[in-house]
Amino acid sequence: MTFDQVNQKVKGVPYISKNNAKSLYDFIIKNRPKHILELGIAHGTASCYMAAALDEIGGGELTCVDLLEVKDSFKPSIEEQLKSLDLETYVEIHRMTSGYNWFLHNDIKSSSANENKICKPKYDLIIIDGPKNWTIDSSSFFLCDKLLNQNGWIIWDDYKWTYARANKRKDATDGITHRSMSQQELTTPHIKEIFELLVMQHSNYDNFIIQEDSDWVWAQKTKHTSTKKITYSHSHSIQYYIIQKIRKFLRN
């Protein structure tokens, strides 16, 4: 299924921008991953783009994981959107009681059921888009690393997101109560800290892409080298920035 075909169906359903969706779709078309893991799915809009790309290249599997308690909170649901696109066969959905880290526990355990009792990696691409919390997602990274194939990629959303931004609208985010956190925890971007302090310093990773304008960051699991490559890229065009400047000027 082409990008435009799926975009016409899911356009306007959060939580992925058209530019990020196109980046994800094009990545799959180019790199042809066989197994993809998505942690945190909401409406499953990003899932639909990935499933469409798998359909376009003629095969592959997307595993999606989210909390059981939020199943009825997102309308349309991932199941409804995939059905409307006739893409259900590419996607396996798991609803967990306590979050995706326990799914990762189970996946590592089943992938270690071999004579050497060593986890065999299985995914070519992993997307982490969940609580955005240091405690939870720092653990997620190390668990995902065990399951990620050599040369595979991990993508994080919400690179610059902070609890302070959400605090104006609600008292808790993904089960984390804001009032239980220190001022530093509220104002610090947790994913940025995970990326800079854990991912970029990890010996398994030396190729990174930072897209600050889209709040996405990428890391590739590569063979150990003496240097680390960091690419800063933009998901938006020059025209986009000009339009944003004009809109800001008109608002003022």
pLDDT digits (tens, 9 = 90+) for 15-52: 999 999 999 999 999 999 999 999 999 999 999 999 99
Is the dihedral angle over the CA atoms 173, 177, 179, 182 positive or is it negative? negative
Looking up tokens 């196109």 gives 22
pLDDT for 48-107, tens place per residue? Answer: 999 999 999 999 999 999 999 999 999 999 999 999 999 999 999 999 999 999 999 999
Structure tokens at 98: 């306590």
Structure tokens at 106: 């189970």
**What 3-state DSSP class applies to 24?**
helix
CA atoms of 170 and 72, how far apart (whole Å): 19
Looking up tokens 């942690």 gives 39
Is the dihedral angle over the CA atoms 241, 247, 249, 252 positive or is it negative? negative
Q: What is the pLDDT of residue 173?
A: 85
